[in-house]
Amino acid sequence: MSQIRHSAKLRHGVPVPIYYQLQELILKDIENGNLLPGAMIPTEQQLVKSYGVSIGTVKKAILNLVNQGYLYRIQGKGTFVTGTTLRRESLRYYRLLDDFDGQESNLAVKPIGIRKVPGFVPANRFLQIRSDQPLFELKRIFLMDGTPAVFSISYLPQNLFKKLSDYPSIEFEKKPLYATIEEKYGIPTINNLELIRACFPDTEAAGVLGIPMSLPVLYLEMLAFTYRRRPYEYRRAYCITSAKKIFREY
């Protein structure tokens, strides 16, 4: 029960609005794990009492966090912590379409190996960890209508995901990687960054995708971030685009 008197934490008479201070306090509880994705935060009335502010101020703080995507509310139920904002992996870059108004194809994921590898440049630099820190390497194939379309190699810091290699790989077929990471390790994906280029596949990618090395492919490098812009995954992917195309909206 959070009936504690937190009022001391809010400072009046400073140029920072009360609602903003409250907002940041709630956000901090989300980021440090006191409030996990899916958890219900205190009700408006509880916040009114424990912080000694008016209902309007509480509403403003909460609605701001809702607009920022950290919380969602259900009338009659409560206010809850949002999980990963990238709801479908397909919206990240695996939505392959023939056309602007085309339909999304049937997509399946096939893991083809997970192992521990030594850290290397540039992965460890992108992940902001020491270059001698080991990594998990996860290789996967994305199949469109049964045909290999994307060959993806993910690198994750071992210290963040200690039990990942013991994790049954069947799980990776059922759901996107970010969903597994959020559920098992409490790391929600907030945003990501991509580098895109056109090139020829290397020997391994050509073999896995079943294409000649003379066929141009999209080469994507991706960094996935959690709260406070902390990177947790570095990914390389080779995408066949000769028939289908990569789609993106923003």
- Give the interface with a copy of itself as residue ranges (CB under 8 A): 67, 97, 99-100, 122, 126, 191-200, 216-219, 221, 223, 239, 241-242, 245-250
CB of 31 to DNA, least distance (A): 20
| CA dihedral sign, ordered 182, 186, 191, 197 | negative
Q: Does 49 bind DNA (CB under 7 A)?
A: no
141-156 in b/e burial notation, b at 16+ Cβ within 10 A? bbbbeeebbbbbbbbb
Query: For residue 148, is the peptide bond before it cis, meaning its omega torsion is within 30 degrees of 0?
Result: no
Cβ–Cβ < 8 Å for 183, 197: no
15/210 with CB nearer DNA:
15
Q: How far apart, in whole angstroms, are the C-alpha atoms of residue 196 and residue 179?
A: 24
28 contact choice in a copy of itself, DNA, none (CB below 5 to 8 Å, kind-dependent)? none
Q: Which is nearer to DNA, 26 or 150 (CB)?
A: 26
Q: State the minimum distance, in angstroms, from the CB of residue 226 to a copy of itself.
A: 15
Is 44 a binding residue for DNA by CB under 7 A? The answer is: yes
Applying CB under 7 A, among 2, 34, 45, 85 the residue interacting with DNA is: 45
Query: C-alpha angle 166/156/175, rounded to 5°?
Result: 65
Binding of residue 54 to DNA (CB under 7 A): yes
Question: Which value, to the nearest 10 degrees, does the dihedral of the CA atoms of residues 106, 107, 110, 114 take?
Answer: -170
The radius of gyration of the chain's CA atoms, rounded to the nearest angstrom, is 22
Our CB check for a copy of itself shows the closer of 185 and 247 to be: 247
Largest CA distance in the chain: 69
Residue 62 Cβ vs DNA, minimum distance, rounded to whole Å? 7
Of 18-26, 116-124, 166-174, 224-232, which part binds DNA (CB under 7 A)? Answer: 18-26
- Rounded Cα gap, residues 158 and 138, in angstroms: 12
**118: Cα within 13 Å, side-chain hemisphere:** 4
What is the x/- site pattern for DNA, positions 60-89, by CB under 7 A? x--x---------xxxxxxx----------
CB of 4 to DNA, least distance (A): 16
Work out how close the CB of 122 gets to a copy of itself at its nearest, in angstroms, rounded to a whole number: 8
Q: Which amino acid is at 156?
A: L
> Which bin fits 35, alpha (ψ -120 to 50), beta or left (φ > 0)?
beta
Residue 136 interface partner, choices a copy of itself, DNA, none, CB cut-off 5-8 Å depending on type: none
Q: Is residue 211 close enough to count as binding DNA by CB under 7 A? A: no
Confirm or reject binding of residue 120 to DNA (CB under 7 A): no
Binding site for DNA (CB under 7 A): 15, 17-20, 41, 43-45, 53-57, 59-60, 63, 73-79
